[in-house]
Chain A
Amino acid sequence: MGGALIAVALSTAPWLVWTLWLQKRASYRLPPLVAFSVSAAGGLGIASCVSYLLLETIGLTSRSLVVTDLVVALLSVSALWRLRLHRARLTSTSASTSSSNMRSRLWAGATALVICLAAIAIVLALVDTPYGVGDPVTNWTLKARFIYRGGAGWTDLFSPELPRWILSDYPLLLPLSIARVWHYVGDDTPAGPIVVQLVFWLALVTCVWGTVWRLRGVKAAAVATIAVVSMPILVTYTGRQYADVPFACLITASLSVLLLRDGDRAPLAVVAASGLLAGFAAWTKNEGLLFVLALVAVRGGYLLVLRRRPGEAAREIAVLVLGAAGPLLAVAHFKLNHGMAGASDDPRRLTEVFHMLADPARLAVVMRGAWRVLLSPALWGWGPLLAIGFFASAIRINRATARSFAFPAAVILVMALGYLTAYQLSPYDLAWHVRTSVDRLLLHLAPVAILTLAMASNAAPPERLRDRDDCQV
């Protein structure tokens, strides 16, 4: 377990430097829990991309990995030292948000209690099924074993003679993160995927808390976080070690920093971080490519239509795309060299595509399946419903809240339409495909949806709402 924690801790070093740089150069302090979330999730993302580079060049061995990590750590320590020298000049914009009254502490305590209970439930599930259930066994962890144990023969993973349930066209953030931990531990222990999964779960939870706390105050943060954490579906899929939890974490973190950009006057540098996190989502699951497209398109439209600042919009979109470029290059290299192994060799004609897209019977199957999942208290618990009630009762319609709500809501809408299109064009038995996946697709969007609802409420201190009315692009 010690080796696993060292592997994770080392991966966060570049982000630690970034958050301090943000404070020094831009005089902006991320909410501490968002900084933790971005550092943990983004750190694992960067480490997996570096591991992929090693894998494709000199080979991913314990030696190459440790040497690379040491170089990165030394550079980080050097940069931290230089930044530390300037610490006296740091300023923070967040002083006004610190709240120490008893009620705030009570809400924070209640949230911590629920998070602890959820963590216990997840650990029990992990103990029960330490190798995971379903996809991790047949896909994510199995791929990690090919990478860790296969040596130069790791590409056997893409052999067409392997069973098709190994989703060989899915990218490698999770397998490489697990393999990296195994290299530090020296064994392919189940602790590897468990630690990676728990880090992403914690990063998701802290991201929701930190973002809503900064933008809407402690009570709204407590409601949003408890609603997310108490969802049985999140507990279940974290315990089963599915990649959908890291994916949900990355898209939530990516959107969160943009919400902080809008609502807390975060500098342009956070937009690059948002792009990077979105790129890592694409490096985790194929659905991430849809998220990158949705994010760029919606952000562009939002800035042009609602903010009417084309110059700023162009600059921000350029930074967003630039941020996503690194992981997307890894995805492109992976797809071109390996990831097409699972691609269909039976391209459909255009007319057939249109026919499938417009088929009302297929649409009915998808909607029925999604509706059944959405209405299941066994999957969601009562948390999201009560959170909807809370935020609906606190809704305040003005220009600021409408803007804060419109952007993430539009991203969710585009994602949902993308998922619907994918189902309409699914080459599999549609009922089976929907039955086995729609709950996880909805899980991707659930934390972001709760975050979005929180943005529509007026739960923030009044002075912060006034601030947002004239916030900069």
Chain B
Amino acid sequence: MAGALVVAAVLALTRTITAEWPPRIGQHHAWNLKGADSWEMDGAYRRLRASLPSRGVVSFLAPEAEGSGTSRKSLVFAQFALAPIVLVPFDGEVTEEGPGLRTVAPSLLYSRRPQTFAERLIVELPSSDDRAASQYVPDGFACTRAEARILLCRRSTR
């Protein structure tokens, strides 16, 4: 019985190892990127990562308000270590994405506790239109355009 256990364990673990071989660094991220909608931003996020401060909380304003794209994006952002991520959609009400999941309505963002979390803020714009950009910049933040659809903002007033 004990001998069979050793053989079974070795076979099972060997099978697991061969299934995962060769090592694929960050394969899971690639899977996520393929599965979501606006992952052409991937390269932009990666570049952004290098320009982020090493300390401090960064919030992230995203155009999506609901759906699995939002949660996937938050996951990918966390995996890219841009986090702590506060994912705030521009539009839509408080939405339940299944038990325990919630996104935050813009009314909360702009009226009650604006920019609660961040000294730094990343804003992903719904389009690269310059005229659209200004309306998505919260009060108290000064922004520079880091990518065509990404603003990198810093708190200018408390």
Q: How far is the CB of A454 from chain B (nearest CB, A)?
A: 12
- Residue ID in chain B nearest A120 by CB atoms: B17
Using CB atoms, name the residue of chain B closest to A230: B9
Name the one of B5, B10, B29, B79 contacting A387, with C-beta atoms under 8 angstroms: B5
Q: How far is the CB of A294 from chain B (nearest CB, A)?
A: 26
A219 — nearest CB in chain B belongs to which residue? Answer: B2
User: Once the chains are docked, how many angstroms separate the CA of A113 from the CA of B87?
Assistant: 45
A125 proximity list for chain B (CB < 8 A) = 20
Contact A124 B17 (CB under 8 A): yes
Contacts A232-B12, A390-B5; A128 near B24 (Cβ below 8 A): yes
Say yes or no: is A127 at the interface (Cβ < 8 Å to chain B). yes
Task: Name A115-167 residues within 8 Å CB distance of B.
Answer: 117-118, 120-121, 124-125, 127-131, 133, 137-138, 141-142, 145-146, 148-151, 153, 156-157, 159, 161-165
CA distance A150 to B119 in the complex (A): 10
As a 0/1 sequence over residues 1 to 34 of chain B, the CB contacts with chain A under 8 angstroms (1 = contact) are 1101110111011101100110111111100000
A131 touching B16 in the complex, CB below 8 Å, given contacts A142-B85, A383-B5:
no
Q: How distant is the Cα of A162 from the Cα of B83 in the complex, in angstroms?
A: 13
Nearest residue, chain B, Cβ from A436: B99
Interface size class of B (residues with CB under 8 A): 35 or more
Q: Does B43 contact A (CB under 8 A)?
A: no
Q: Is the CB of A153 within 8 A of B57?
A: yes
Q: Are B100 and A151 in contact (CB under 8 A)?
A: no
B50 proximal to A (CB < 8 A): no
Cα–Cα, bound, A227→B13 (Å) = 12
Alpha-carbon separation in the docked complex, A290 to B5 (Å): 33
Q: Does A4 contact B (CB under 8 A)?
A: no
A142-B84, A161-B116 are known contacts. Are A230 and B13 too (CB-CB below 8 A)?
yes
Q: A110-B6, A151-B55 are in contact. Are A129 and B13 (CB under 8 A)?
A: no
CB nearest to A143 among chain B residues: B84
Pair B78/A137 contact, Cβ less than 8 Å = yes
Please give, as numbers and ranges, the residues of chain B lying within 8 Å of A308 by CB-CB distance: none
- A149-B2 CB under 8 A given contacts A137-B78, A383-B8, A383-B9: no
Q: Is A433 an interface residue (CB 8 A)?
A: yes
Cβ < 8 Å to B, chain A residues 380-413: 381-383, 386-387, 389-390, 393
**Stretch from B102-110, B123-131, B144-152 forming part of the interface with A:** B102-110
Nearest B residue (CB) for A119: B13
A-B CB contacts (within 8 Å), total count: 157
Does A59 reach chain B (CB closer than 8 Å)? no
Beyond A117-B14, A387-B5, A390-B5, whether A137 also contacts B23 by CB under 8 A is: no
Q: Is the CB of A381 within 8 A of B12?
A: yes
Give the residue of A187, A230, A393 whose beta carbon is less than 8 angstroms from that of B12: A230
Which residues of A are found within 8 Å of B104, using beta-carbon distances? 161, 163
* Residues of chain B with a CB closer than 8 A to A232's CB: 12, 16
- Interface presence of A253 (CB below 8 A): no
- Complex Cα spacing A162 to B99, Å: 15
In the complex, which residue of chain A has the Cβ closest to the Cβ of B88? A161
Q: Which residues of B contact A270 (CB under 8 A)?
A: none
A196 within 8 A of B: no
Asked if A150 and B57 make an inter-chain contact with CB atoms under 8 angstroms apart, the answer reads yes
> Are the CB atoms of B84 and A150 closer together than 8 Å?
yes
Q: When the two chains form their complex, are residues B9 and A141 in contact, meaning their CB atoms are under 8 A apart?
A: no
Interface residue ranges of A32-89 to B (CB < 8 Å): none
What is the minimal beta-carbon distance from A138 to any residue of chain B, in angstroms? 7
Which of A161, A223, A235 makes the CB contact (< 8 A) with B5? Answer: A223
Task: Determine if B158 is an interface residue (Cβ-Cβ < 8 Å).
Answer: no
Q: Does B117 contact A (CB under 8 A)?
A: yes
Q: B57–A164 contact, CB under 8 A? A: no
User: Are the C-beta atoms of B23 and A130 separated by less than 8 Å?
Assistant: no
List, in ascending order, chain A residues with CB within 8 A of B83's CB. 142, 145
Structural contact, B10 and A390, CB atoms closer than 8 A: no
In the bound assembly, the distance between CA atoms of A87 and B108 in angstroms comes to: 65
Q: Decide: B57 and A129 in contact? CB cutoff 8 A.
A: no
Picked from B28, B80, B81, B87, the residue with its CB within 8 Å of the CB of A133 is B28
Contacts A107-B2, A131-B79 supplied; 17 other A-B pairs, CB < 8 Å: A114-B6, A124-B17, A133-B28, A138-B75, A145-B84, A146-B57, A149-B54, A149-B55, A153-B57, A222-B2, A229-B9, A235-B13, A381-B9, A382-B12, A386-B2, A387-B5, A429-B99
19 contacts between A and B (CB under 8 A): A128-B25, A129-B28, A129-B79, A130-B25, A130-B26, A130-B79, A137-B75, A141-B78, A145-B84, A156-B84, A156-B116, A157-B84, A159-B117, A162-B117, A164-B101, A386-B1, A386-B5, A393-B1, A433-B99
A-B CB proximity, top 5 nearest: A230-B9, A131-B79, A117-B13, A124-B20, A129-B28
Question: Which residues does B use to contact A, with CB under 8 Å?
Answer: 1-2, 4-6, 8-10, 12-14, 16-17, 20-21, 23-29, 54-58, 74-75, 78-81, 83-87, 98-104, 108, 113, 116-117, 119
Residues of A within 8 A of B (CB): 107, 110, 113-114, 117-118, 120-121, 124-125, 127-131, 133, 137-138, 141-142, 145-146, 148-151, 153, 156-157, 159, 161-165, 187-188, 190, 219, 222-223, 226-227, 229-230, 232, 235, 381-383, 386-387, 389-390, 393, 428-429, 432-433
